[in-house]
Amino acid sequence: MTATALELVLMIEGQQGLTWGLWQRLARAAEEGGFDGLFRSDHLTELFGDAGRPVLDTWTSLAWLATGSRRIRFGPLVCPMTFYHPAILAKQAAAIDLLSGGRLDLGIGAGWNEAEHRMFGLPFPALRERMDRLDCGARAIRALWQGEEAVSLDQPYYRLVGARAEPRPTRGSVPLIIGGRGERRTLRAVAIYADEWNVTRLTFQEYPAKRRILDEHCRAVRRDPATIRRSFMVPIIVGRSEAEVRARRDRARALFPTVPDDAGGWKAAGFLHGTPAEIRQDLAHWRELGVQRVMLQLIDMEDFAAIDLIAREVLPAFR
C-alpha cells in the first residue's frame, strides 16, 4: 500500500429491504465505480419494527456475489457467533472463497441484537458467554484452517474431535475480521485471532486510545500489531450542496431512526457528512490515524446517485 492509498468499500445493511435485483445492482455499482469491495451486515430481520421488509439470507447472497462479481472483495460484517456453529461457518466460508478465487473476508462478532434472537427462537446468552463463544468460535475456525492434519480442540464451546475441513480456502485460510471495540475481551480476541480489526462509531479523538489498547493486547500475546489490518465502518452522507446533503440526511433518519438528525450530530458521532471535499478531508484524517480500509455504510442502499458521486469525486483521491 502506498502512502496515498486507502481502500474504500461499500457497506450495506442487508436487513433493510435487500432484494436480488438491488443486490445485483449494488455489485455492478461497486465493480464499475472502482470500489475495492462490497460488504453486508448479517441480520435476520429489519431492526426497527418493519418485519415485512425483505432480508436476503447472508450466505446465499455471498454465494451469488462470488460469481456475480469479478474483482471486488466481499464478505459479512459481521456474522454473530450466536447464529452459527463455527465448523459450519468455516466450511461455508471456504467454499465461497474458492468459488470467488480468494476474494472473501470473514467477519465475526459476539452478537448483540436480542430482539431478533427472541423473534426466531435463538438462544441469546449473557454477554460473558457470548464473548466466550466468540473466543472459542474464532479458535475453532483458525484450527480447522491451520494444517492438513485432523484437529482436536478441547474447550468449553465448539469442541473438535479429529476434525478436518476440506477443501480448504484458496490461500489456506480466509482473512478473519473481528468487529468491536470492547477493551477487555473484544480487542484481546482481535490480538489473538484476527487478521483485521474493524470498528465503528468512534471519533478521531477516541480512536487512538482504542488502538493503543489493541497494541497492549498484542504485546501481551507476543504478536506484532502491524500484522493486524485496521478498518473502520462509518455511515456516510454526501452531497454537492447543503440541500442535497440535508435531503439525504433526512432520508437516512427515516430509514434508520438511531442516526443523528442534524449535521452537528453526525459530525460529533464521527460519521462522514458533507460535500465530497469534506468527505475527502475526513477520510485523509482516518488514513493518518492508521486506518487502511474504510467501509462506507450506505443507510439508503438504493441511492445510486450517492454511490456515483463518491466514485467520481472521492475515490480518485485515494488511489
* pLDDT score for 312: 98
Over the stretch 255-287, which tens digit does the pLDDT of each residue have? 888 899 999 999 999 999 999 999 999 999 999
Check: CB of residue 203 under 8 Å from CB of residue 134: no
Rounded Cα gap, residues 229 and 178, in angstroms? 11
The reply to whether 175 falls in a domain is: yes
Picking from 22-26, 44-48, 166-170, 177-181, which range would have the lowest pLDDT averaged per residue? Answer: 44-48
Over the stretch 197-240, which tens digit does the pLDDT of each residue have? 999 999 999 999 999 999 999 999 999 999 999 999 999 999 99
Over the stretch 251-260, which tens digit does the pLDDT of each residue have? 999 988 889 9
Mean pLDDT of 165-183: 95
Is a pLDDT exceeding 60 seen at residue 2? Answer: no
* pLDDT score for 47: 86
The reply to whether 1 falls in a domain is: no
For residue 149, name the pLDDT band (cuts at 50, 70, 90): confident
Is a pLDDT exceeding 90 seen at residue 304? Answer: yes
For residue 4, name the pLDDT band (cuts at 50, 70, 90): low
The reply to whether 271 falls in a domain is: yes
Q: Tell me, what CATH number does 216's domain have?
A: 3.20.20.30
The reply to whether 80 falls in a domain is: yes
Catalytic-labelled residue, pool 31, 43, 129, 216? 43
Annotation says 43 is catalytic: yes
Which residue, 109, 112, 154, 153, is CA-closest to 133? 109
**Residues near 133 by beta carbon (within 8 Å), at least 6 away in sequence:** 81, 82, 110, 125, 157, 158
* pLDDT score for 48: 80
> What single string gives the DSSP state of each residue in 127-153?
HHHHHHHHHHHHHHHHHHHS-SS-EEE
Q: From residue 299, give the alpha-carbon distance in Å to each of 37, 88, 230.
A: 17, 30, 22
Query: Average pLDDT over the chain, rounded to whole?
Result: 95
Over the stretch 70-105, which tens digit does the pLDDT of each residue have? 999 999 999 999 999 999 999 999 999 999 999 999
* The C-alpha cell that represents 145 in the structure block: 484452517
End-to-end CA distance of the chain: 10
The reply to whether 2 falls in a domain is: no
Its domain, for residue 196, covers: 7-318
Catalytic-labelled residue, pool 32, 46, 85, 114? 114
Is a pLDDT exceeding 90 seen at residue 50? Answer: no
Annotation says 217 is catalytic: no
Count: domains in the chain: 1
* pLDDT score for 19: 97
The reply to whether 87 falls in a domain is: yes
Selected residue with higher pLDDT from 107 and 319:
107
* pLDDT score for 148: 78
Picking from 44-58, 125-139, 147-161, which range would have the lowest pLDDT averaged per residue? Answer: 44-58
* pLDDT score for 212: 97
For residue 52, name the pLDDT band (cuts at 50, 70, 90): confident
The reply to whether 160 falls in a domain is: yes
Mean pLDDT of 175-202: 96
